[in-house]
A = this chain, B = another copy of it.
Amino acid sequence: MSSSAESTTRHRRSAGFSGEAPSRELPTTPRGLRTRANLIDAARVVFERDGFLDARLVDITTEAGISAGSFYTYFDSKEEIFSAVQAEVEKEMLHPDVRAVTGGDDPVALIREANRAYLESYQRYAPFMRLMEQVANIDDNFRDLRRKRGEAFVERNAKSIKQLQDQGIATKDVDPVLASFFLSGMVARAAYSRFVLGEDWTIEEMVDSLTQLWANALKISAPST
């Protein structure tokens, strides 16, 4: 991210983050695929290092070891490759270690594990998360995209909360959807504060506190016998 003391100029002339379509078929040759992959890796490095705005396409192509002009063989704009980076990282974030959250049926333990998993993931992807935060506040379309994605997560949590309520484990005095949204937001913001803003908490104390607050907020008790 640019230290504010730097002196830079930023340009933007392209199409922006379009709502959906991959907008371009993948290259056919293995070589092309490899170059495209290199480009994405390079873009991630540069974006995470310089931020979206200060990242120059030239830096990305240089990092990828190709010429400036070749960029357009694979992507149409900075926004488009950013989307590709994002897709790539999100794929990576899900892939391997969605270890089935252990904990059996202790709901607090489940929440704890979910919180820990979230924080650890955030930590691992901190530069990327910071980047996402930046872009979301720069570009409206991207902001919407992100919001839409968040919804899924919130809804899943809402369902869990509803279940706990139905089971008599969680209080019914909160709306499950809003509670999910707000409590998830609390954790997300805590992660942002810790890993982007640099608050100095240990993950352990964060997990403890957040879990406690979350459990209290839902008044989670041992399931009624």
Interface residue ranges, A against B (CB under 8 Å) = 1-17, 51, 53, 79, 130, 133-134, 136-143, 147, 171, 173-175, 178-179, 181-183, 185-186, 188-190, 193, 197-199, 201, 205-206, 209-210, 212-214, 216-219
Contact = CB atoms under 8 A, between A and B. Distances in A.
B10 A183 contact: no
B197 A178 contact: no
Contacts of A142: 4
Contact of A12 (B7, B189, B213): B7
Top 4 closest pairs, chain A to chain B, by CB? A4-B16, A186-B186, A185-B189, A10-B10
A208 to B, nearest CB: 8
A51 to B, nearest CB: 7
B175 A185 contact: no
Contact of A143 (B6, B8, B197): B197
Contact of A10 (B15, B53, B136): B53
A11 B54 CA distance: 10
27 contacts: A1-B140, A2-B12, A3-B140, A4-B16, A4-B17, A7-B12, A9-B9, A10-B11, A10-B12, A10-B53, A134-B138, A136-B137, A137-B137, A143-B197, A173-B212, A175-B209, A178-B205, A178-B206, A178-B209, A179-B213, A182-B189, A182-B213, A185-B190, A185-B193, A189-B189, A216-B216, A216-B218
A201 B189 contact: no
A140 B3 CA distance: 6
B182 A209 contact: yes
Contacts of A130: 137
Contacts of A185: 185-186, 189-190, 193
